[in-house]
């Protein structure tokens, strides 16, 4: 069993059921999730019989850095990690004025089929375990000698298509005996799986919710995000209002700006009427070029027009700063390139 894939309660059960005192599970948890130790023999405050038991019966789910790409323009670093089974996943380290951030993947590939996204090119291979989501954060910390203080689950994969593992990942990374990250520092981004939005609202886990919206009407959204056929845009916005009511948290709508696709004045007008009276933020993202998608980035004039129109109509709006442009890679691109080169 992978010990780093267990939350505190599960670890306690295993340790006490095997005749060791409960406090030992807290020590083990601390070694793994606070000290980032992945070698049992280094856990020097554990007695020999417990160490023998751990070595014989358990293991740690490890990943290794396969490649790291360093931006020469800023401090962004993109990582490819190799998992136990040989699969490769992608994560990004971003340095902001407010601290150190990691963008992590939740699945190997993705089943959602968004037209502008490289991650979905070969479909979904499998879900990531909680330990593999944690591993991305821990390996970046160890590699750079820093402490990550915000996480966005916005890399490859649809996190709500891997809900249980996502929930366990959050439970572990916010645990006081471990990294103790504030839930307010975690953002989960979904392409709009409405039942999971209601579930997350009712469970009141409290993470920041981001929606990949990318269009202001149903017809356009269906073309960009196939899952929109199942989950209509007006129902999606309704579910986000519910999320805000239940959690008190403002929802962010991500809007990738694509030249002559979703960046006209009419698009801006439709977006304003869709989001009127919502407590939200719209994040405009200049499109990253993806070989598989013929769309191009909106001009800076269109982005400015869109931004100003939203602002004028009292919608909170930002334009995402493009970090790591020289190691150009919308999520999934580096992984695809590297798989092709293998």
Burial (CB < 10 A; 0-12, 13-18, 19+), residue 63, is buried
Judged by CB under 6 A, the stretch of 106-114, 238-246, 286-294, 296-304 that binds ligand SF4 is 106-114
Block residue for tokens 């593999």: 132
Q: Which residues pair with 100 in a beta bridge?
A: 95
Whole-angstrom distance between the N-terminal and C-terminal Cα of the chain?
A: 30
Q: Which is nearer to ligand SF4, 166 or 191 (CB)?
A: 191
To the query of whether residue 331 is one of the catalytic residues in this protein, the response is yes
**Binding test (CB under 6 A) with ligand SF4, winner from 157, 178, 286, 295:** 157
Residue 204 CB, shortest distance to ligand SF4, in Å, is: 24
Question: Which of 7, 38, 61, 158 touches ligand SF4 (CB under 6 A)?
Answer: 158
Q: What are the two backbone dihedrals, phi and then psi, of residue 272, each rounded to the nearest 5 degrees? A: -60, -45
DSSP string covering 156-208: SS-GGGGHHHHHHHHHHHT-TTTT---GGGEEEEES--HHHHHHHHHHT--PE
Active site residue 100: no
Q: Taking CB under 6 A as the criterion, which residues in 173-192 touch ligand SF4?
A: 191
Among the listed residues 5, 156, 247, 297, the single contact to ligand SF4 using CB under 6 A: 156
CB of 152: closest distance to ligand SF4 in angstroms?
12
Regarding 128 and contact with ligand SF4 (CB under 6 A), the answer is no
Window 301 to 340, contacts with ligand SF4 (CB under 6 A): 331
Q: Are 213 and 227 in contact (CB under 8 A)?
A: no
Task: List Cβ neighbours of 35 (8 Å cut-off, separation of 6 or more).
Answer: none
**Residues that bind ligand SF4 in the complex, under the rule CB under 6 A:** 110, 112-114, 117, 119-120, 156-158, 191, 212, 331
What residues are annotated to the active site? 90, 331
């Amino acid at each position: 069993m992978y010990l780093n894939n267990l939350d505190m309660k599960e670890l306690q059960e295993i340790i006490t059921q095997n005749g060791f005192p409960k406090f030992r599970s807290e020590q083990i948890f601390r070694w793994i999730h606070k000290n980032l130790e992945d070698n049992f023999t280094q856990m020097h405050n554990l007695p020999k019989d417990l160490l023998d038991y751990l070595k014989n019966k358990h293991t740690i789910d490890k990943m290794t850095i396969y490649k790291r790409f360093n931006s020469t323009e800023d401090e962004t670093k993109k990582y490819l990690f190799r998992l136990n089974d040989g699969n490769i996943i992608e994560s990004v380290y971003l340095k902001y004025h407010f601290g150190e951030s990691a963008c992590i993947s939740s699945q190997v590939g993705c089943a959602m089929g968004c037209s502008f996204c490289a991650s979905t090119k070969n479909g979904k291979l499998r879900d990531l375990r909680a330990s593999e989501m944690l591993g991305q954060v821990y390996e970046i910390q160890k590699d750079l000698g820093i402490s990550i203080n915000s996480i966005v689950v916005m890399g490859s994969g649809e996190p709500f298509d891997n809900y249980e593992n996502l929930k366990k990942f959050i439970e572990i990374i916010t645990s006081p005996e471990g990294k103790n990250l504030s839930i307010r520092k975690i953002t989960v981004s979904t392409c709009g799986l409405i039942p999971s939005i209601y579930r997350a609202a009712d469970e009141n886990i409290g993470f920041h919710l981001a929606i990949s919206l990318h269009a202001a009407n149903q017809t356009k959204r269906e073309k960009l995000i196939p899952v929109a056929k199942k989950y209509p845009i007006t129902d999606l916005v309704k579910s986000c209002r519910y999320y805000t009511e239940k959690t008190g948290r403002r929802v962010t709508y991500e809007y990738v700006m694509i030249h002559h696709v979703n960046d006209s004045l009419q698009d801006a007008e439709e977006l304003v009427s869709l989001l009127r009276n919502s407590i939200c933020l719209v994040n405009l993202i200049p499109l990253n070029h993806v070989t598989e998608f013929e769309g191009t980035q909106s001009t800076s004039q269109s982005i400015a027009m869109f931004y100003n129109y939203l602002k004028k109509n009292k919608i909170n709006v930002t334009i995402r700063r493009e970090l790591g442009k020289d190691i150009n890679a919308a999520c999934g691109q580096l992984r695809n390139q590297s798989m092709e080169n293998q």
